[in-house]
Amino acid sequence: MIALFFNKISPEGIPVITKFRNIKIQDTNIKVPLFLSAKRIHKKKDIDIVNELQSIKEINIEKVQKIFMKGNCIFFDARSTENYIDGHIPGAISIPIEEIGFDEIDIADIDFTEKIITYCDGEECHLSVELAVYLEEIGFMNVNYFIGGWSSWIGNDNQVSKGSTP
């Protein structure tokens, strides 16, 4: 009871009952938790903001290749640091969401109007969807997730970068 009380009065309390968004991935709905703090989620204006969010968009390998060739977007790799170092889409920024908290993501220099594509290992990996939902909730306006992810990228003989830098 004491822990619940302190959680309730904390400015960044954790919701006791997590709120979710339904996201459609290849005709299947999955539930992704909302990332707003417990205090913010209870304010009517923030609930309205969540309800008004544009749905993040699922894109496939063909569209990703076209966008990559144009060079007019930022790729975020949601996989582990180790996987990123072993190989990633050239120019992709590593955001290993299983290793760091969402509050530790350093994206302050990125314009909220930039086109963003998140990706992870492949169709069964949902880290890219969680990252896309988070980015949209904090204000990014053009967020997509690459459904085929890394396995689709390398399976189509695309360029690969290795190491810890984009």
57-66, 72-81, 118-127, 145-154: the lowest-pLDDT one: 118-127
The per-residue pLDDT for 39 is: 40
How does pLDDT run across 3-49, given as a tens digit for each residue? 656 656 666 555 554 555 556 565 666 555 555 543 444 444 444 44
- Quote the pLDDT of residue 20: 56
> Which pTM does this prediction carry?
0.72
What does the pLDDT average to over 134-142? Answer: 84
In 55-151, beta strands by DSSP E: 57-59, 74-77, 93-94, 115-119, 142-146
Cα-Cα-Cα-Cα dihedral sign, residues 73, 87, 128, 157: positive
Ordered domains of the chain (ranges, CATH): 2-155 (3.40.250.10)
